[in-house]
Each structure stands twice: as C-alpha cells, then as structure tokens.
Amino acid sequence: MSIFSVVAQDKAIVKLQQAVRSERIPHAYIFHGPVGVGKELCAREFAKLRLCENRRSARRDGHDYYDCCDACPSCRQIEADTHPDFHLVYREQIRELRSQQLDQPADVASPSRKTHQATVLSVDVIREKLNQPARLTSTYGRGRVFVVREIHLANPSAQNALLKTLEEPPDGTVLILLADKLEGLLPTVLSRCQLVMFGPLPEDFLLDRLGQAGYEPAESTFWARFAQGSLGRALWLAAQQWYSIKVDLLADLAGLTAGDVVDLAERLMALPKAYAAQARKDEPTISDTVSKQRMYSFLLAVTSAFYRDIMLYHSGAEASAWINTDQRSLLSKAAARMDILSASRAVSLVSRSEYLILSNVNANLVLEDLFGDLAGMNSPPVGVKSSSAGVR
C-alpha cells in the first residue's frame, strides 16, 4: 500500500509530508478524529515511510512528495507485523501481560482475569510495550515507531508513564498516538505532541464501499449516514445484520402508545442478551457488560436519530439530510404526531437514558421510563381519540 491510499485526508497527508520534506519529523504525534476514518492506516503507512530502506519521491503540485517503496524487507515486515522496530500498542495487551504473570495462555478463562477487561489503556501496557522497548537500540539503525491505539482511553497513571518517553525520547523514536477524542488527555501529553486532524469520510465513498460489500442501496445509505463519515463503523455495524432491528424499532416508535411501553422495553432487553451470547463466540475475551452496552448504545442511537430526523422534517430540511431516508414515509407520518419541541426533548431524554445505562442503572427500568415519556409525546392521529390520556 501507500500513504496516498489514505482516502479524503489531504490535510493530514500534507502536514506529514511537510515534516518529511524538511527532515524534521517530530518525535510525537496525536492523530485525532472519528473512529474508522483512516488514522491507524495512515499511522502504519507513515511508519513504513519513516523506516523504509528505499524511500521514493515524486513531484506533485509543485512539491516533492515521499512514499515508502512497499517492497523492501522493512516495508514487508511492517505489513506482516513482524518488524522489530515497529510497535503497535493497545489496551488488550494487558491480558497478555497478566497471562505471563500467571504463566498460562491468554485465551484461558480464569477468575483472576475477570478484573482485567481491558476497558482502559493501563500503565502496565505503556511501561512494558512502549517505555521499555523505546530504550533499546534500533535493530536496523533507522529508529523506532510506536503506534498507540485509543490513547484517549489511557488512565492518568498510563499517561504519566508515557511522559517519561515523551519528555526524553530516544534518538530516532517516533510516537503516533491515535485519539478518537481529546477530552481526558493530560495537558502535559497534549503539549508534547503535534496534532494531526482527521475528518469524516465523504458519504459517496462510504456508499461505494458498502455497495462493494454487497449491501443494498437503501441499507447502505442508512449505514453511511448513521456512521457519520466512519467507514470502519459503517462496515462493522452493517456486518452485525442489525438493519432489520433498526427498521422495526422505527416502526414501533412511530406508533408508540402507553400500552406498548412494557412490551417494547422487554423485546429490546432481549436483544443485548442475545448479542452478548454471540459476541462471546466471536470474541472470547469480551465481557457480557461491554457487549451488552454496544447493543444498548446502538438501539439508543437509532432512537435518537429518529427524533433528530423529525426535527429536521419540521425545520424544512430536505429528505436528503435525514439519516433514515429509507423510511421517509414513516417519518413523515411520525412528524405529524410530534412537534419539533417534543422531538428535541425526546433527543435529550434518549441521551440521558444512554448515560444511565452505561452507568449500570437497571436497563429495563430505564427503557420503560424512556418509552413511557416518548409515548406521552405522541399525539393521536387526526380523528382518533387518545387512549393514553391521563396515564402519565
């Protein structure tokens, strides 16, 4: 591959190329942007360029641009994840470290490992997988590159440990920290890194890739818009085969009454349980809590998008601006039963409900309360007497 295979991130590529041309590559970068927009791909390709034995140059737009040869032993080893001077650091490595301490394979379940669900990037991972190898001499004499996934999930102890390498980086060492968000990063970490911004990918690009993956146009359009420019998220969500769940949920919300609340909450409660069982087969190390929260987040994001579309409908926005254009007839009917202020309040209620569920408040109670409130906001169709008057 090539650094120019990173799609629709021209500003990021130009900034990196300027550093290469000047031969003044900073010792630390933060690649910041939404998940699934090419940050890690760009980091890997930049590492190949940095460590390449036969770097190529070409003239583009009046400037010299550089790229890896993609053929030398160094490039091939990075592609195969076997390069001794290229290090990928990620939170799940805590299980490998714990397994070494317990002297048992990483995929063997044990009570002692249940407390290490890898929900944060821990200090042990930073010390063992970054600080220690950074002190070693480069194997091939061209420096070392460390790519750290999800630095925004590093706890304060891990970030403080990282500062040891950021403050006194060995010669030729480059750190690339990947961040979906900057909130939570220590000012001392931010101040020692060059920030490179990555933006959402164009909708047309996502539609093309989803189409190539075999998804129908209506479903592809929904995932492309729902994922907000993240190809990785769009493809992952589509692969879960949750589209029919989304279609049914919107139909339930559009006609929601007080009498439907308990049944809908119970049916939605069953989905995270079923997904958790399947997720354990696909990812043996994932916890039930994490997998259930994935599904709850999806269901509530779909619910929020539904009410946001109703707001757009009332504001006069074209249907092409909606997320759920595949169900525009249903949305138009739903908008006739709910005004823009009620839809705005519904979005706020959904956001609060997600916070409560992710804070481990009883999900069934949260959903029943949410759907009860949402049902109360629906006005009955013209000519139909409300059956829920006075219920809430």
For residue 282, what are the contacts with CB-CB under 8 A and spacing of at least 6?
none
What does the pLDDT read at residue 283?
A: 81
What does the pLDDT read at residue 381?
A: 56
Residue segments in the chain with a per-residue pLDDT below the cut of 70: 102-117, 380-392
What does the pLDDT read at residue 112?
A: 43
What does the pLDDT read at residue 105?
A: 54
What does the pLDDT read at residue 249?
A: 97
What does the pLDDT read at residue 191?
A: 96
Please report, for the chain, the start and end positions of each structural domain, with discontinuous segments joined by +. 3-197, 240-377
What does the pLDDT read at residue 234?
A: 97
Using alpha carbons, select from 220, 188, 180 the residue that is nearest to residue 203.
Answer: 220
What does the pLDDT read at residue 280?
A: 86
Report pLDDT digits (tens) over 278-308.
Answer: 988 888 778 788 889 999 999 999 999 999 9
Please tell me the pTM assigned to this model: 0.83
Check whether domain 3-197 has CATH 3.10.450.40, yes or no: no
